[in-house]
Chain A
Amino acid sequence: MASTPASPAAEGIRKAVVVGGNRTPFARANGAYAQASNQDMLTAALDGLVARFGLADERIGEVAAGAVLKHSRDFNLTREAVLGSALAPTTPAYDLQQACATGLETVMGLANKIKLGQIESAIAGGVDSASDAPIAVSEGLRAVLLELNRAKTLKQKAAAVAKLRPKDLAPVAPGTAEPRTGLSMGEHQALTTAAWEISRAAQDELALASHRNLAAAYERGFFDDLVTPYRGLTRDGNLRADTSLEKLGALQPVFGRSLGDKATMTAGNSTPLTDGASAVLIGSEDFARSRDLPMLASIVDAEAAAVDFVHGKEGLLMAPAYAVPRLLARHQLTFEDFDFIEIHEAFAGTVLCHLSAWESEEFCRNKLGLDAALGKIDPSKINVAGSSLAAGHPFAATGGRIVATLAKLLHEQAVSEGRRGRGLISVCAAGGMGVVAILEAC
């Protein structure tokens, strides 16, 4: 069994703080950003961040970002976005990809570099376009083309071409199906949702809360310094401020239809395919202080987990259920110690399965090896400024959205209540993975 470090971050390691964030409004796929590439959107997110914090022509320690749906030409996506942005061209960058955890993992990787003193400042980000998705040639055509390239004689070339079949000419579009199971993410979650007996009503209520919370946050100007409009969109295109339980209840199930009457997952309580980008400015305390930049929250620690969904031992999106208790144990914290809990709403069912799991003594004993249930989370702490069901979920951009949102929530609370609150982030990802993190108000 892999060991978990017993103590919090080692003595003498300095802090990494969130200075602020910026994102484009998220757009439903094939909507406002249908003509925008990943590079376009990431550049826009960077430029908005640069403008917010006056970083034009500045060299940042490092920029890391990524995309889940990525063209092969975008091998240096982040560096290319930096070159197209207002940042100094001497700013290095790297790409990272960890499915839907990409955005959160860029924050963590760069925060660690800052904590170790390798860099003073960094921008973590992510972007995804479901509209401008890469379309590949079929494996058959690819094999033929490569063989044709290797062929030297006319006879060899003819032999290669002769292997081509009509079906090879059909293009291959990316899907959200898991390579090892062939099931889409939604179908996987439908199984988990059914296994935990999560009701349709509970899922619709969570979706409604997400829309209401996001709309209220926009109304009070919460996103004025977190979002920069892009291509005519000023708010998230998926947000339905006027939705209701009646409207959500009228939708037909789209996942788990083989379950018949027990199918509960609709387009209303699942995230839609979305386009958008996000970026988060982080730095050492010295970096922020020397430039009179705000310090919203400290990036305390993170934990990644993975589950064996291939053999049916756990649900595809349940890895955070394992990562959270490990992270809490490392810091000797319970849910009571947190003021805000951000659980990425891939599906309403994902969030509710996690809550049920942590409340289940059986799960916590048998699967997590704990003495008792991890506990119940006060619903008023969860996703208080809305989450992916309302905002949408451009895969790699979600982590940056959540980190910036949580950091600002913690900062607001610190200013109004004069105390340093704590926030927990939980993000599930394809491949049976999950990344979770703790932020603390500065």
Chain B
Amino acid sequence: MADAYLKLVNSPPASVIAKKLGLPRPTELRRYRRGQPMVPGPVLVVASGAAEGLSGQLSGWGLEVRRRTAPGEKLGAIVLDLTTVSDPRELSEPMLAVGASLRDLAPGARVVSISRPADSASEPAAAAARQGVQGAVRSLARELRAGATANGLLLADGMDLADPGALGALQFLLSGRSAYVDGQFLLVGPGADQLPEDADRPLAGRTAVVTGAARGIGAAIAKVLHRDGARVVCVDLPAAGEELAKVSNAAGGTALQLDITSDDAGARILEHARSRYGGLDIMVHNAGITRDKLLANMDQARWDSVINVNLAAQLRINEALLASGAGQAPRVVCLASTSGIAGNRGQTNYAASKAGVIGMVGASAAAFAERGGAINAVAPGFIETEMTARIPWGTREVARRLLPSLQQGGLPVDVAEAVAFLAGDAAGGVNGRTLRVCGQSLVGA
């Protein structure tokens, strides 16, 4: 599971050799730790307009804001306000300003653009400018090194930068919580009420259910949700009970042994959450299986079991959540996969299930929003788990080293951070979306 090359290349003699030979030089990513600053240095604000409001917000979070770089000073982040561009020609000045500061970025720095979605532009020129932002920022992300990332917020037309939903997403993208999110654009709409009171415990008082919690990504999700203040119900198959108990105890939660494909799974999950914790605020559909075979060799058992666990069970449990009557509908986060976006040889069944999750999330957004909830998906790329450790060495090295801009696989905690973000109030403006956590892998890009 451990990425030995990543450790080696960050030791003094090997790093020199790797540089000389032009080998990939992945960096230990800047991941969230309680108490550390949001970004590793001052924030440069580049804006087509005055950007007073944005600077004020950033200062309000205790960040040092710069409008131009000072010689020798390492920047923690660049925030690029492009919300007003209406013509492609307006991109050159701010983009070149960013370019002039790239060499000043600290390791693990963030570049975040804020722009508008192209498909809602009224003029072709405006749409071209808006779409152009995505191409520029995604390319910029590929040029960054030393664990720095570039992502974009797509702010729905009419929404102000001071909207809590915009600020919550901006905080996520600036912080160590988004370490393995790179080259992504996140659409933020209205709907957020306010940001969490305690930024270090944003899920305080919430009850979360995590399926497939016994190991890997599910175990990491349970622990991160607990760290963020949630009470966690850890669900997995009865046969996985021994590991489930360990995860549950580490997350201070309760273990619920059940098969999510059983007809009454939704009812039993709801009953457990209600009777023990008075309700259910967060539902994380993480449980998933692979039964890989080339389609020519696929049998019905392999196909059906993957669809049942990865997709049909989620649909049924969501129906139970929506039908559960009065009160707040929960924030639901589903695990998709980049395989569901790009396709993957030998994974027709798996990719069908994961693409299906993305479709389900989009189509369910309105129903959950109506009840005060939301539903989103996280699509992990190559994540270092027991499952991916079984991939043959050559394929694994390509997937973790060559395909992602960050030149390394992600960790389960990277996926868990994205799930925790989407499960909380900071993502109040995000609904029906799929967020990739893939280190900007070429797969499905």
Contacts and interface: CB of A to CB of B under 8 A. Distances in A.
Contact of A228 (B241, B250, B252, B278): B241
A56 B240 CA distance: 19
Nearest to B278: A292
A293 B239 CA distance: 24
Interface string B248-259: 111011111110
Nearest to A291: B276
14 contacts: A47-B246, A48-B241, A48-B245, A51-B234, A51-B245, A52-B255, A56-B248, A56-B250, A229-B239, A231-B242, A234-B239, A234-B241, A293-B276, A294-B275
A303 to B, nearest CB: 34
B242 A228 contact: yes
B244 interface: yes
Interface of A: 44, 47-48, 50-54, 56-57, 86, 221, 223-225, 227-231, 234, 292-294
Q: Nearest 4 pairs between A and B by C-beta?
A: A51-B245, A86-B249, A51-B255, A51-B248
Interface in B237-282: 238-242, 244-246, 248-250, 252-258, 262, 275-278
Nearest to B239: A234
Contacts, number: 70
Contact of B240 (A47, A86, A229): A229
A229 B242 contact: yes
B26 to A, nearest CB: 36
Nearest to A294: B275
Contact of A292 (B242, B245, B248, B276): B276
A225 B259 CA distance: 12
Contacts of B245: 47-48, 50-52, 228
Given A48-B241, A56-B250, 15 more contacts: A51-B249, A52-B245, A54-B231, A56-B253, A224-B238, A225-B256, A227-B241, A228-B245, A228-B255, A228-B257, A230-B242, A231-B242, A234-B238, A292-B276, A292-B278
Interface residues of B, number: 25
A57 B239 CA distance: 25
Given A224-B238, A227-B241, A51 B276 contact: no
Contact of A44 (B231, B242, B248, B276): B242
Nearest to A86: B249
Interface of B: 231, 234, 238-242, 244-246, 248-250, 252-258, 262, 275-278
A231 B250 CA distance: 19
B253 A54 contact: yes
B238 A54 contact: no
Given A47-B245, A51-B249, A225 B257 contact: yes
B265 to A, nearest CB: 11
Contacts of B250: 56, 86
Contacts of A44: 242
Nearest to B272: A225
A292 B275 contact: yes
Contacts of B241: 48, 227-229, 234
A429 B239 CA distance: 33
A224 B248 CA distance: 16
Nearest to A47: B245
Contacts of A225: 256-257
A33 to B, nearest CB: 12
Given A86-B249, A225-B257, A234-B238, A54 B244 contact: no
Given A224-B257, A228-B257, A229-B239, A51 B244 contact: yes
Contacts of A54: 231, 248, 252-254, 276
B266 to A, nearest CB: 15
B277 to A, nearest CB: 7
A231 B243 CA distance: 10
A51 B255 CA distance: 5
Contacts of A86: 249-250
A53 B272 CA distance: 11
Contacts of B252: 54, 56-57
A164 to B, nearest CB: 47
A222 to B, nearest CB: 11
A47 B249 contact: yes
Contacts of B238: 221, 223-224, 227, 229, 234
A53 B254 contact: yes
Most chain B C-beta atoms within 10 Å of own C-beta, residue among A52, A54, A57? A54
A297 B249 CA distance: 25
A318 to B, nearest CB: 38
Contacts of B278: 292
A307 B26 CA distance: 76
Contacts of A224: 238, 257-258
Nearest to A48: B245
A129 B257 CA distance: 26
A23 to B, nearest CB: 11
B61 to A, nearest CB: 33
A331 to B, nearest CB: 31
Contacts of B231: 54
Contacts of A48: 241-242, 245, 255
Nearest to A22: B245
A54 B232 CA distance: 9
A46 to B, nearest CB: 10
Nearest to B248: A51
A51 B254 contact: yes
Nearest to A58: B252
A354 B33 CA distance: 64
A427 B306 CA distance: 46
A153 to B, nearest CB: 57
A130 B222 CA distance: 37
Nearest to A52: B255
A376 to B, nearest CB: 37
A52 to B, nearest CB: 6
A234 B239 CA distance: 6
B54 to A, nearest CB: 43
A433 B43 CA distance: 78
Contacts of A228: 241-242, 244-245, 255, 257
A221 B264 CA distance: 12
A56 B257 contact: no
Nearest to A50: B249
A416 to B, nearest CB: 14
A52 B238 CA distance: 12
A56 B249 contact: yes
Q: Please indicate which of the listed interface residues B252, B256, B257 has the most CB atoms of chain A within 10 Å of its own CB.
A: B257
Task: Output the residue of A51, A52, A294 with the most chain B CB within 10 A.
Answer: A51
B218 to A, nearest CB: 15
B277 A292 contact: yes
A442 B113 CA distance: 60
Nearest to A232: B242
Contacts of B242: 44, 48, 228-231
A44 B234 CA distance: 17
A228 B253 CA distance: 16
Nearest to B234: A51
A352 B246 CA distance: 42
B215 to A, nearest CB: 13
B183 to A, nearest CB: 39
B350 to A, nearest CB: 25
A414 to B, nearest CB: 15
